[in-house]
Structure 1
Amino acid sequence: MARFLNRTNFFVLIAVVVGVLLALYAWRLPPFNNGVESTENAYVRGSVTVIAPKVDGYVMEVFIQDFAEVKAGQVLVRLDDRNYKARLAQAEATLATQKANLANVVQARHVREAGITNAQAQLAGAQAQQFNASAQLARSRADEKRSQALVTDGSVSQREHDQTESGLRQAEAAQRQADAVAQQARAAINAAQQELRAVNVNEKAIEAAIEGAKAAVRLAEIDLENTQIKAPRAGHVGEVGVKLGQYVTPGTQLVALVPDQVWVVANFKEAQAANMVPGQPALLRVDGLGNAELKGHVERLSPAMGSEFSVIRADNATGNFTKIPQRLPVRIVVDANEPRANDLRPGMSVVAEVDTRAKK
C-alpha cells in the first residue's frame, strides 16, 4: 500500500511539474522566454475612405459595381448638372455685365480728363485776356491822368478828355470781363476734377464687383465639377449604396473606397512591448488566408496606450482598484516582397509575433 501511494504521489508531482512547465511555455515566461512576443489581438487596417458628394442633386449615372477596382480620378457617380450649368451661365453673364460697366467707366474717365484739359486751356486763354486787359487798363488810367492835367490848362479840349475817360471805363469793363472768364474757367476745372474723382471711385467699385463676379464664376465651376464624383485614390470600392435617381446631399455616404496599401495593428500587453522598437522583424499569421505566414517589421509604436484613446476613459481615483495590464498598439507593415501581401483585406484577424531580441 505504501509503495502504491508513493507511486501515485510521484505521478501527481510529475503532472504538476508538467502543468507548470506548460503554463510557463504558453505564457512565454522564464525559462521559455525567447524574446518573441506574440498576440492574437491584431487586425489588418487600411485607410478606408467614405465617398460623399459636395453638392446636392439627383443621381444620373452610377459607373461602378460592388467591389470593383478603380483608378485615381475615375468618375464613380454623376449627378444632374443642369442647375449648376445654368448657375455658371448666370455668373458668367454677371461678370460680362460688370466688365461692360467698367468699360463705360473707363470711357467716362477719358471724357472727364478731356474736360479738365479743355477747362485748363480755357483758363490759360482767360489768363491771357486778363493780362491784356490789365495792360490796357493801366494805359487807359495813365492817359486819363494826363488828360485831366492837360484839360485844366486848356491844352486838351473837354471832348477829348471825355473820350479818354470813356476809354478808361471800357478798359475797366474789359478787365472785369476777363476776371469773370478766368473765374469760370477755374470753376469748370474744379467741377471736372470732382467728376473725375467720382468716376475713379466708381471704377474701383466696379473693379471690386468684377473680382466678386469672377469668384462667383469660379464657385459655379467648382460646383459643376463636383457633380462628377471621382475617386480620390486608386483601390477597390465596397458595396455600392447609391442608386440611380436617388437624391443626395453633401455628406451622403455613397460608397467606401479601400486603398491597396494596408498594414497590421497589433495590441501587445505593456510588458510585452517593453523592448519593442521600430525596425524589429515580425511574423504575421492571417486567419483569412488559411493561416498563411507573412513577414514584416515594426514601423512605429503608438504614443500612448489604447485606453488613452477610449471615448469613455476609466477613472481609477475612486473605489477599489484592480490592476489591469494595458495594451500598446503597434503598427506592423508587411514586407514588399511577400507574395500574398495583396491578398490582405482590412478587418482580417492576425496573430502577430515580434522578435524583440533584434535591436535597431
Structure 2
Amino acid sequence: MNRKITPTDRLITLSTKIIAILAAAALLCWGAIFCTDLLRYEQTNDAQVEEYINPVSARVSGYIHQIRFEENQPVKAGDTLVVIDSRDYLAQETEAAAALENARAQTTLLESKINTLKNEAAVSASRIDAARARLQHQQQEYKRFENLLAAESTTPQQFDNAKAALDIAASEYQTILRAHESAVAKVQDAAVQAVSIGAEIKRRQAVLDQHQLSVGYTVIRAPYNGRVGRKHIQEGQLIQAGQPLTFISNDETPKWIVANFKETQVRQFRPGQPVSITIDAFPGETFHGEITSLSPATGSRYSLLPPDNSTGNFVKIIQRIPVRIRITEGRAILAQLVAGMNANVSVRKQ
C-alpha cells in the first residue's frame, strides 16, 4: 500500500538535504583551510608559557620568628619575607667581637713589650762600648806589665794582678755581649709573635664577619620584583639551611614561550623567524613573536633518566625539540600570562 507524501514530509526532506549540503560545504571549507595551513605552516599545540621561578631558601638554620608574606602576594626587591630567630647568632657575634677585641689588646701589650725590649737592647749595646774600652785598657796594661816583668822592673805579683784584671774585663765584655744578643733575640721573638697575633686578629675578624653574615641571613628578603607562590612554612617551625621556604616568580624578566616541535618540523627554523601564538586562556586573540633559539638537544636528553637506545629495547619515537620564542607583539597581555599556560604556535614555512 503506497503512503501518500504529505507537505510536511517534503519539508523535512528538503530541510535534511539543505543541512547535509551546508554541513558538507562547511566540512570542505574546514578541510581546505586545514590543508592550506598544513602546507603553509608548521604547527604544534605542545607549547607552554614559561618564566623564571626560583625557590627562596634559608641560608641558616633556626626557628621561624615571623612570616611577612601571603601566598600569591606581589613583592618588591628587598621586601622582608621571613624572619628567623637570631638570638643564638647574635650571641655568637658578641662572643666573636669580644675575642677580636682581646686579640687587639694583646697586640697593644706586645707593642709595649717590644718597645721595652728595644730599650733594653739599646742599653746593653751602650754597655758593650764601655766594656770594650775597659778590655782594651786592660790589654794595654797587661802588655805594659809583661814588658816590665821581662825587664825585671816589676814584681810577678803586679803582673798577676794585671793578668787577672784582663781576664775579668774579657769576661765582663763577653757577658755584656751575650746579654745584648739575648736582648736582640727577644726583640725578634716578639716581632714574630706580633706577626702571629696579627694573623690571629685576621682570623677572628673573619669569624666575626661570618657571624655577622649569619645574623643578616636570619632576615630573608625578596631577591627581585615578583610574586611569591606556595608557602611551605609556619611560624615557630624549625628550618634547615638550604631548605626552600617558598617560590618567587621574576617580574623583571619577560615571559616567553617554549614550543616542543617534532624533529621533522624544525629543519627550516632559524632564530628571528616570526611566529603566531594563541593562548588557550585568551581564545580569539593572536600574539606575534619570533624564534629566539633552538635547543641543542631533544627534550628526552634533559630528562632525569635519558633513554639509552643501545640497550636493544628500541622503539623509534619521533623526538621533540624545544624552541624558545619571544613575544614581540601583544606584550600588554604578558602580565596576565601565567607560567604553564598552554599555547598553540604556528611557524610559516619558508
Q: Tell me which interval the TM-score lies in, with the shorter structure as reference length.
A: 0.7 to 0.9
1:311 partnered with 2:304: yes
What is the aligned partner in structure 2 of residue 48 from structure 1? 53
The equivalent of 2:273 in structure 1 is: 280
Q: What is the aligned partner in structure 2 of residue 156 from structure 1?
A: none
- Computed over aligned residues only, the root mean square deviation of the Cα atoms, in angstroms, reads 2.3
Give the drift of 1:25.
6.4
User: For residue 77 of structure 1, what is the aligned residue in structure 2?
Assistant: 82
Alignment partner of 1:112 is 2:105: no
Partners of 2:190 and 2:72 in 1: CA distance? 63
User: So what's the TM-score if we normalise by structure 1?
Assistant: 0.83
CA–CA separation in structure 2 for the residues paired with 1:221 and 1:145: 86
1:329 aligns with 2:334: no
2: CA distance, partners of 1:94 / 1:79? 25
The verdict on how the C-alpha distance between 1:89 and 1:318 changes in structure 2, with shifts beyond 3 A counting, is closer
- Report deviation, 1:26: 4.3
Per-residue deviation, 1:337: 5.7
SS at match of 1:279: coil
Give the Cα–Cα distance (whole angstroms) in 2 for the partners of residues 332 and 346 of structure 1: 14
- The count of corresponding residues between Structure 1 and Structure 2 is 322
Per-residue CA shift, 1:285-321, capped at 9, x if unaligned? Answer: 1112335322111111100111221222333345575
> What TM-score, normalized by structure 2, do the two folds share?
0.85
Partner of residue 166, structure 2: 175
Q: Which moved more, 1:65-74 or 1:40-49?
A: 65-74
**Structure 1 residues 133 and 209, CA, compared in 2 at 3 Å: closer, same or farther?**
same
Alignment partner, residue 293 of structure 2? 300
Tell which deviates more after alignment, 243-252 or 165-174.
Answer: 165-174
Give SS of 1:136's match.
helix
Task: Report the Cα offset of residue 70 of structure 1.
Answer: 1.0
- Aligned residue type for 2:47: A
Give the corresponding residue for 1:207: 198
C-alpha offsets along residues 177-210 of structure 1, whole Å, 9 cap, x if unaligned? 1101101011102222332232223222211211
Q: Does the C-alpha gap of structure 1 residues 350 and 87 become closer, same or farther in structure 2, counting only changes over 3 Å?
A: same
Is the CA contact 2:301–2:307 (under 8 Å) kept in the aligned structure 1?
no
Give the Å deviation of 1:322: 4.2
Matched, 1:94 2:99: yes
Measured in 1, the distance between the counterparts of 2:284 and 2:135 equals 112
User: SS at 1:125's partner residue?
Assistant: helix
Match of 1:126 in 2: 131
Counterpart residue number, 1:248: 239
In terms of mean alpha carbon deviation, does 276-285 or 197-206 score higher? 197-206
Do the aligned partners of residues 28 and 193 (structure 1) sit closer, same or farther apart at CA in structure 2, a change above 3 Å counting? farther
The unaligned stretches of length 5 or more in structure 1 are 1-14, 149-160
CA distance in 1, matches of 2:226, 2:261: 30
* Residue in 2 that maps onto 1:151: none
Quote how far apart the aligned CAs of 1:338 are.
2.3
For residues 318 and 227 of structure 1, the distance between their equivalents in structure 2, rounded to whole angstroms, comes to: 50
Shift of 1:28: 6.5
1:268 and 2:273 matched? no
| Deviation of the 1:44 alpha carbon | 0.8
Matched, 1:189 2:180: yes
Q: For the residues of structure 1 that align with 2:48 and 2:280, how far apart are their CA atoms?
A: 10
Alignment counterpart, residue 33 of structure 1, candidates 5, 21, 39: 39
| Aligned partner letter, 1:350 | A
CA 1:319–1:291 in 2, change beyond 3 Å: closer, same or farther?
Answer: farther
SS in 1 for 2:331: coil
User: Which residue of 317, 339, 346 maps to 1:353?
Assistant: 346
- Report the identity percentage: 27
State the distance in 1 between where 2:103 and 2:237 align: 38
Go from structure 1 to structure 2 and tell me whether the alpha carbon gap of 1:104 and 1:275 turns closer, same or farther (over 3 Å shift).
same
